[in-house]
Structure 1
Amino acid sequence: MTLPPPRPADLHPQQQSLPSSEPTDPSAHPAGASSPDLPNPESGAACLAGLRALYGTRVRAANADTAKSEDAACRVESPVLVEALEMGSVPVVFEPPVTLSCEMATKAAEFLLISVQPLAKGYFGRDLVGLRAGGGQECRRRNRAATGPLSEHATGRALDIFAFVLAGEAGGLKVSVERPEDTVQQRFLLAVRQAACGAFTTSIGPGADAAHANHLHLDIQARRSPSTRFCQ
């Protein structure tokens, strides 16, 4: 059995470790598709500069060794380390920080700013101030198999969210993806997942399968049609 992404220590533990799986979608590029061209360093620098201009300096170029793998296919294009994103005057802190491709970090930042922050204010009257995150860059294939297509985590194009943290005393209000405490939290999470389905090409969470019972998996997997979405 394989393990799901590490869960933050301050969330309730699951009774059983569950295998990690990612559904195979026929609309995705086939496993034998050729690798993309090597990234343009100038475009990567421009992406990072744009991120920092909009979301602050707690996004920086990732250590090259962190994003490097013995498997050449697990190359992260323009890797960045995201510690926090400034949303106006409010920083959204990633705990722990995650390494993502700059493209994925940009998508995540836009999603938090345009969708999650307004939903947090609408449902709770509070600002989003943090994410309990995991599952950034990790070199592996889907289902941790020896062969087959790479997981989007392998190239830093996926992010797992275990909980949303809202402003408040004593560490704020934590909304667990796995165990919402009341109807308001349930509705908030449903609205977040509906928004995620439009923002990302893949959005999978509790109720989809056992491997995603405790977190929301978001990625930007390339598909044959830009409008194709896989949402569960």
Structure 2
Amino acid sequence: MILGALPGLAAAVALVLCAEGVEHAATTAVAARSAHPAGGRPATPHTAARPRIVPRSVWLADLAGRRQPPPRYDDEVVAVFVHHTDSPNGYDCADAPRVIRHLYAGQTGGRDWDDIGYNFLVDRCGTIYEGRAGGVDRPVTGAHTQGFNHRTTGIAALGTFTAGVEVPQPMIDAIAALAAWKLGPSDTDPRKDVRLTSSNSGSRYAAGVTAVLPALAGHGDGYMTSCPGAALSARLPEIRRTAARLQGRTG
């Protein structure tokens, strides 16, 4: 079982490489996406079906009584950042809720965060779990990519996906489906770039600098990290194409 390989303090340490996303910044969104062509957004945006999402109550279990600060929101989601949790890969999918609970405990206990940083987590079988509180349908401000938490969603793949590690296809497909759905309301093409303004000089970009980043990016695009690992980073083009297809984009 995974928990023997990832005890409490080790869980917090394992998160350092990838989960450098927490910010105590103002809640006002400071990101701006690329302008649409003249005439504004199309009358019918490219949207995708909502995938099945397991509620956080399933993994929170006995930690549900912890006092939870109110969530923060942005106006919309215009980009997705993909992460890996830098935790062991050999878990049974039935154990995924316990793995997520361990990550949550490491972030809220060992690191004193207000909640788990990721908006969503995906296990090796392609099951999607709600992460950060606030409602999966809403643009919840996460704590996953320092400088770029506003108007973005953080999706974490459960495991470590460095060079040479196989990334399960169900996980890839689930990330694509989730990204397609979250980017649909803003009519954001997962294959394109967006403009995001950094809110924190601890990122790759000084606070106030507007960066051109992939709409479906890896953590390393916004922060100095190897996350989500070379193997998962190599699959991002496929994830972008699949997400675009799920939105009904053919061009």
Q: TM-score, normalised by structure 1?
A: 0.32
Q: TM-score, normalised by structure 2?
A: 0.30
Q: Which of structures 1 and 2 has the larger relative contact order (alpha carbons within 8 angstroms, sep 6+)?
A: 2
* Structure having the larger proportion of residues in strand: 1
